[in-house]
């Protein structure tokens, strides 16, 4: 059974860089059938796709965040990571990592989510 688990600091200061890692177990992130992505959800609000990465390293970012986002892969650890720079209070959210089924691009497996608060 595929499992995804987010990890990283729960508190980040304004203007700093938020860094999260998603560890995948029960499957390989090197599969050509899937993409891997990040989604966020501010408290009490809806879902926003942040970006995705393919096993080849190709990345796709939401245009609203593109200048601040970097997603990368570490195939040796079966992990992928998110960096979001210059954060503000508006970036406070639950961050989810997810697997994306390649043909129809739906999120079929999700991590449990991690709350990241931006505050001094």
Contact residues for another protein, defined by CB under 8 A: 46-49, 52, 60, 62-64, 96, 98, 101, 104-108, 110-113
Whose Cβ is closer to another protein: residue 40's or residue 73's? Answer: 40
Q: Which residues contact 85 (CB under 8 A, 6 or more apart)?
A: 17, 18, 68, 69, 70
Whose Cβ is closer to another protein: residue 43's or residue 76's? Answer: 43
Give least dist CB 13 to another protein, A. Answer: 26
For 32, the enclosing helix (H) or strand (E) is none
> Among 31, 36, 33, which residue's Cα sits nearest to residue 81?
36
Give least dist CB 87 to another protein, A. Answer: 19
Distance of CA 105 to the CA centre of its chain: 15
Whose Cβ is closer to another protein: residue 55's or residue 96's? Answer: 96
- 60-69 contact pairs (CB < 8 A, 24+): 60/35
Give least dist CB 1 to another protein, A. Answer: 11
């Amino acid at each position: 059974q595929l499992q995804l688990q987010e990890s990283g600091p729960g508190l980040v200061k304004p203007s700093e860089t938020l860094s999260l890692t998603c560890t995948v177990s029960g499957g390989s992130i090197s599969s050509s059938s899937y993409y891997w992505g990040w989604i966020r959800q501010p408290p009490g609000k809806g879902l926003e796709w942040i970006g995705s990465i393919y096993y080849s390293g190709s990345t796709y970012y939401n245009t609203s965040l593109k200048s601040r986002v970097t997603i990368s892969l570490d195939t040796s650890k079966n992990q992928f990571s998110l960096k979001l720079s210059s954060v503000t209070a508006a970036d406070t959210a639950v961050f989810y990592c997810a697997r994306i089924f390649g043909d129809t691009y739906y999120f079929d497996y999700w991590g449990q989510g991690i709350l990241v608060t931006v505050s001094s």
